[in-house]
Amino acid sequence: MADKEIRLTRVLFVCLGNICRSPMAEGIFRQMVHQSGLDARIETDSCGVGDYHVGEPPDPRAMREAQQRDVDITELRGRVVRRDDFDRFDYILCMDGDNLEALQKMAPDSGQAHVGLLMDFASEDTGTEIGDPYFGNTDNFGRVADQITAGCQGLIERLKRGEASD
């Protein structure tokens, strides 16, 4: 029997610096993808709308919070969003309204991606935006990770029901 063509769904998580929220989202979502047996079907990446931390590893507080959830994000490195991301990715999901405004400004007319807020996918009422934890204390990272988990849970359920199914 011929192999069935696998349709790859590409998801890009976006925040401001790509060292706190979006790398946590990338790691947490990738773990869910793996646990759902969908590694071959869903590709995950993250980036920032700002270029302050290009090439840097995630913030130590983000790495620690992820590690507490058995998610290793130590190998991730910051990068900035590119115009071709809007053609390469199916979902470009950001953390707050400022990120969204920046993305909408740079989105080319030809872009095929769904550009929106990650929290729009959350089924629980855990807020519409994921606030920047960078200037806050370590506790903020736990709250951010909980919100990200809720958003990613909704996203993976949606993909399992639709785009990522046979």
> Which residues of this protein are in contact with ligand 4NP, per CB under 6 A?
15-21, 48, 52, 132, 134
Question: Which of 20, 85, 132, 152 is labelled catalytic?
Answer: 132
Q: Which of 20, 21, 45, 85 does the annotation list as catalytic?
A: 21
- The Cα–Cα gap between 159 and 154 comes to 9
Contact yes or no for 50/61 (Cβ under 8 A): no
- 140 contacts 164 by C-beta, under 8 angstroms: no
Give the CA count within 13 Å in the CB-facing half-sphere of 154: 16
Contact (Cβ atoms closer than 8 angstroms) between residue 147 and residue 25: no
Please report how close the Cβ of residue 88 comes to ligand 4NP at its closest, in angstroms: 21
Nearer to ligand 4NP (CB atom), residue 42 or residue 130:
130
Active site residue 152: no
What is the greatest pairwise CA distance in the chain?
56
In whole angstroms, the minimum distance from the beta carbon of 139 to ligand 4NP comes to 15
Q: Which of 15, 20, 47, 94 is catalytic?
A: 15
Verify whether residue 39 is a known catalytic residue: no
Nearest approach, Cβ of 119 to ligand 4NP (angstroms)?
14
Q: Is 132 a residue of the active site?
A: yes
Which residues are marked as active site? 15, 21, 132
